[in-house]
Structure formats: structure tokens, C-alpha cells
Amino acid sequence: LYLVFFVMYVPGDNERRQKDSRYILRISEAEENVLPVIDKPSDDGDKNDKTFVGMAKVDTEMPELPFVDPDSPGYMGKGVEVVPEQLSPAEKKLYDEGWKNNAFNEYVSDMLPLHRRLEDPRDKACGDIVYKNLPDVSVIICFTDESWSVLLRSVHSVIDQSPPHILREIILVDDFSEKDRLKRPLDDYMSTLPKVKVIHAKERLGLIRARILGTEAAKGTVLFFLDSHIECAKGWLEPVVDLIGKNETTVVTPVIDIIDDTTFAFKYAAGKDTQVGGFTLALGFNWHVIPEHELARRNYQMHTPARSPTMAGGLFAISKKYFDYLGRYDEGFDIWGAENLELSFKVWMCGGTLLSAPCSHVGHIFRKRAPYKSKPGQWFQRNNIRLAEVWLDDYKNYYYEKINYDLGDFGDISSRKALRERLNCKSFEWYIDNIYPEIFIPHRDGIAYGEIRNKAVPTCLEGTHHGQNGVPITTYSCHGKRGNQYWILTKNDEVRREEICWDHNPVNGQVTMYECHSHKGNQQWKYTEFDQLMHPGTNYCLELMEDNRKLEMHPCQVKERQQWVWFRGTPP
């Protein structure tokens, strides 16, 4: 089963109110040429680790938690249902504004305690591990116009769930928020918390430069970046920091659980193994179940850290020294996006390791849109072009094709190219072959491509997905314009376009568009010697019905309505 639990989105290009206060961001030269100390070859897990002992030592070193009433809303991560129709007009107004300003249910967040209690989500084996390599940590949280209660709960959850001797400081970087409450009132509130520092940017930096600003101020050995709408679960910190303590070139993400945007229920990704990050050549991030070779490398132990080709970007830890060594982020990245792939590629291509730590859990509120102000212009595409130019070698052309080679002015990237040169990083092809062989590459994996035309009637198969699994494929007059009539048959027996595959539902006989899961089953197809589109699991073939429009799956027969013309060959 392919688990899709969110859809990445691009924040809208909301109009940006110009402010005239000028602020020059000073980013001192990172210690670029200092190679971190690598004591031993990359340590990918606890396979040979002998530090398993009886009790979770961490429990005894935790801060004392304030009393939380078990009757309080959201207790133990439960969700809170509010029926807006039952609210008074004044309350309903608050409810609506909460959604509008945050793209999540702030009204419910305001009902929950700031120190809400959560279940312990971890695999049982996690509680028995004693972590010994624990350098101190600077947590860096960047935000722009975050919800007050959500931000405060994020900060408190960090403090409440972190052993004080590891947590050195929390740095809040306010990326030029407009809400007044996030100015003086926030400073006043945070000044009561000894480890918390607030930095206000003097102009809108965007997430990426805001993180660099936070890094400049950080004193800890390890930087742990978090989004500003999260809740840390019990034991979140040690499994991550320990891996970095053992090896400075290891970069680590926690498991990202879901805080429901409507009820604030904390939904653990528990029970299953952790997921790892992938991406498409169109430069979109996606999640994957861990591939078989990695399951085997981990001895099928769910609590062992898993190698991850990429990270989602918001929640991860890295040694400060190593972050500097890797040239942090491209400071030409604006607002949001691309930095997660940049760092992921860099880590692997330049000698490090990216791991997901199954014993570390942090919840994140996944939203369907970005509520904050943005900037006009194609900044997201520009970020991706900079990324592609520097790191993708010839693979960049897949992305460029996608954007019709509309590169525009993407700025100067010479210093980023020089960085890659200086660090002597491996090629993107090496990365694909060794770290992410599962990626779909048309010219490598395709064996038939183009439109699929029926033999009896000149009609073509078409399908759309738009983030919605289960939309049936249909027929339409052939338009010859690729788009939703372009299909690729893969060596892995899929019929796909990018990350979307034909999926045969044996219950209702429909063929629908579904995210590819690469496990054959309902997504396995054969293009037979008689040009039929056959699903081997049922031995049924796709047939055009008498009305010349409807499609059905029927026992295979050699007849024109079951025959489809498709170009056999490798896509360009």
C-alpha cells in the first residue's frame, strides 16, 4: 500500500505590501573549507550497537511538566470536534477568521492547553535504547505570521520534551510578521522562558534566509530546525542527536506525524515502519515506503534508522559544523521551497548520510494552502532552476522540459557551482544509481510511450489526477498534444505518467489514476503481442464499448476493441 499523507503545495503569489525599511542581511562566510572530523565511516544504524540496556535513562532527566487537566480538550492528542453551525455569531466569526488566517483550525488550537499531553507513539524497542552521544542542540524555528497558540505550543513542546542538558537554546526567527502580537507581546512572553531567543528580521527574508539568520546566532553543536506548527512527542530529541553525536556527517529527520488541521488530533504514523523521502524529476518531493533492500539492511527492525534519499525539509537536525561545511543553503532561494532537495542532494553527493530516525516523533500541521503573505513572481520556479543548474547535471533537462525551458533570470549561481567543485561532490547520476534507484526515469524505465489509440475507432485514452486518487481513465478524440493523453509503459509493468499509474479495481472493474506504488498488483499491466492492455492479475483486457466511449475490463480476446496502438520504444 502506498501511503500518501499529504500533498505538497506552492504558496500562492499573494500581493506583497512593500515596506521601506531596508535591512541588509549579513551572513558571515561559513567555515567552508574546514572538513568536519569524521571519526569512523558512516554509521547507518544501531545494527551493531551494543548500547541497548534495560531502562530508558532519559526519563529521569526530563523537566518537570506542569499539571494538565485530563479533562482538557485535546488531552493525549485526541481531536476536538467543533460544529461551526452551533456557535454563536461572534464565535462563528472567530472560527472563520482562524481558518482564513492560518489555513488550519486556530479556533480549536486556542481551546487546547499550551502544554498538551500526547501518547507515547514509539515502537516498544525505542524505550529501551540508551543514547550516549548527546552534544548540545540549538532548536531553530522560523515563522511568519504564525498563530499565537500554535507557535507557543510548539515552543513549549520542545522545552517539555527535551532533556535540559541537551537543549541549549531555542531560536525563534520572526520572518517579518505583520501581526502585532508577534512583536512586543511575543518578546515579553518568551523572555519568561530562559532558553528562548527571538530574532525579528527587518525585512521579509523567506524561510531559507531566515534559517540562515537563525544559524548565525546559534551556539549549539547541533542545529535542529523545526516548523512553527509542530508538537514534539516523548523522546523526540535523543535518537536524532545521538546519530549526529556518533558521526558529524549524518543528517537526521524525525518521523513526521500528522496534527489534523481541523481537530488537532495527533495522528501517529505508528504501527507501520517509517517512511522515507523521494522526489520526481519535476522536482516535487514525495514519500515512499522503505524499499526492500533498505529493510534488509536494517535487519527488518523498525526502530533502526533508515536511509532516506531526501527530506521533506522542515524538521531535521544537522551538526552546525557540517551545515557550514556544506555551504548551508543557497541564499538565492526566496520565500519557500527547493532547499530541502538542495540539502538532501548535497548531503549524499558530498559524502554524508541522510537518515530517518524511527524512534523520534514530531507532529506537524499539514495545510492545504499557505496562509501567509508571499511575493509576486515565480520565486518557487526560480529556486528550482537554481537547484537544477547546480546539482542535477544533465538531469536538469527533465525539469526544464516541464517548464518549457522558460528559465528567465535565475541570478548568479557561480558561487554555488564553486562550492560543489570545492567539496568534490559526486555526480547526480551517482546519486540516482546509488541512493535513489527507485526514481522513475522515462528514458531508463520506459518501453512504450505516447498516445494510446484504439484500433477500431480513432479515440485515445486519457486521464487526469490533480491530487485525487481513483479518477477513472476515459476516452477522447486524439489530440496529439501529449498532456493527459501521454502514457509510458515501464519495465516494471506500469502504465504511468510521472508519479501516477493505472490502477485496476477488481471490484468495480474500473481503471483509475492512482499514485504509483511500484508493487505491481492492481498496477501491473502487460502490453501484449496482440496490442492488448492486459492486467495479469485477472487476465482481463481493456475494451472500448459499443458506444465508442465507455471502457471496461473483459476477458482478453483478440478483437479490435481490445487492441490499442501504442509506440513501442524508449521515450526520448
By a kind-dependent CB cut-off of 5 to 8 A, residue 94 interacts, out of ligand LR7, Mn ion, none, with none
Burial track 261-277 (b if 16+ CB lie within 10 A, e otherwise): bebbbbebbbeebbbbb
Burial track 118-139 (b if 16+ CB lie within 10 A, e otherwise): beebbbeebbebebeebbebbb
- 340 belongs to the binding site for ligand LR7 (CB under 6 A): yes
Q: How far apart are CA 335 and CA 209, in angstroms?
A: 8
Nearer to ligand LR7, 6 or 395 (CB): 6
Of 212-251, binders to Mn ion (CB under 5 A) are 227
By a kind-dependent CB cut-off of 5 to 8 A, residue 303 interacts, out of ligand LR7, Mn ion, none, with none
Nearer to ligand LR7, 144 or 221 (CB): 144
Nearer to ligand LR7, 45 or 363 (CB): 363
Q: How far apart are CA 359 and CA 346, in angstroms?
A: 25
Contacts of 276 (CB under 8 A, 6+ apart): 287, 288, 289, 290, 294, 306, 307, 308, 309, 356
Tell me phi and psi for residue 174, to 5 degrees: -85, 110
Q: How far apart are CA 340 and CA 208, in angstroms?
A: 10
Q: How far apart are CA 101 and CA 151, in angstroms?
A: 14
Q: How far apart are CA 532 and CA 493, in angstroms?
A: 13
Stretch that binds ligand LR7, among 54-62, 157-165, 309-317, 549-557 (CB under 6 A): 309-317
Residue 83 is classified by DSSP as -
Question: Which residues lie across from 542 on neighbouring strands?
Answer: 553
Shortest spacing between CB 380 and ligand LR7, in angstroms: 9
> 340 and 347 in contact (C-beta within 8 Å)?
no
By a kind-dependent CB cut-off of 5 to 8 A, residue 144 interacts, out of ligand LR7, Mn ion, none, with ligand LR7
Find the binder of ligand LR7 among 278, 314, 363, 450 (CB under 6 A).
Answer: 314
- 227 belongs to the binding site for ligand LR7 (CB under 6 A): yes
Find the binder of ligand LR7 among 4, 6, 195, 297 (CB under 6 A).
Answer: 6
Of 60-89, binders to ligand LR7 (CB under 6 A) are none
Nearer to Mn ion, 201 or 541 (CB): 201
Shortest spacing between CB 229 and Mn ion, in angstroms: 6
HEC-encoded secondary structure of 116-176: CCCCCCCCHHHHHECCCCCCCEEEEEEECCCCHHHHHHHHHHHHHHCCCCCEEEEEEEECC
Nearer to ligand LR7, 132 or 202 (CB): 202
* Residue whose grid cell is 526502530: 303
- Contact string 258-287 vs Mn ion (x = CB under 5 A): ------------------------------
Count interface residues toward ligand LR7 (CB under 6 A): 23
Stretch that binds ligand LR7, among 20-28, 203-211, 342-350, 384-392 (CB under 6 A): 203-211
Q: How far is CA 38 from CA 79, 307, 319, in A?
A: 45, 18, 12
Contacts of 11 (CB under 8 A, 6+ apart): 335, 336, 369, 370, 372, 374, 380
Nearer to ligand LR7, 275 or 492 (CB): 275
- 344 belongs to the binding site for ligand LR7 (CB under 6 A): no
Shortest spacing between CB 367 and Mn ion, in angstroms: 7
Nearer to Mn ion, 207 or 435 (CB): 207
Say which amino acid occupies 202.
K
Of 108-147, binders to ligand LR7 (CB under 6 A) are 142-144, 146
Shortest spacing between CB 323 and ligand LR7, in angstroms: 15
Of 173-202, binders to ligand LR7 (CB under 6 A) are 175
> 307 and 353 in contact (C-beta within 8 Å)?
yes
By a kind-dependent CB cut-off of 5 to 8 A, residue 339 interacts, out of Mn ion, ligand LR7, none, with ligand LR7
By a kind-dependent CB cut-off of 5 to 8 A, residue 532 interacts, out of ligand LR7, Mn ion, none, with none
Torsion of CA 62, 63, 64, 65, to 10 degrees: -100
Nearer to Mn ion, 263 or 505 (CB): 263
H/E element, 250:
strand 250-259
Find the binder of ligand LR7 among 112, 170, 207, 326 (CB under 6 A).
Answer: 207
* Residue whose grid cell is 477500431: 456
Nearer to ligand LR7, 256 or 357 (CB): 256
Q: Which residues form the interface with ligand LR7 (CB under 6 A)?
A: 6, 142-144, 146, 175, 206-207, 210, 227-228, 256, 312-315, 335-337, 339-340, 364, 370
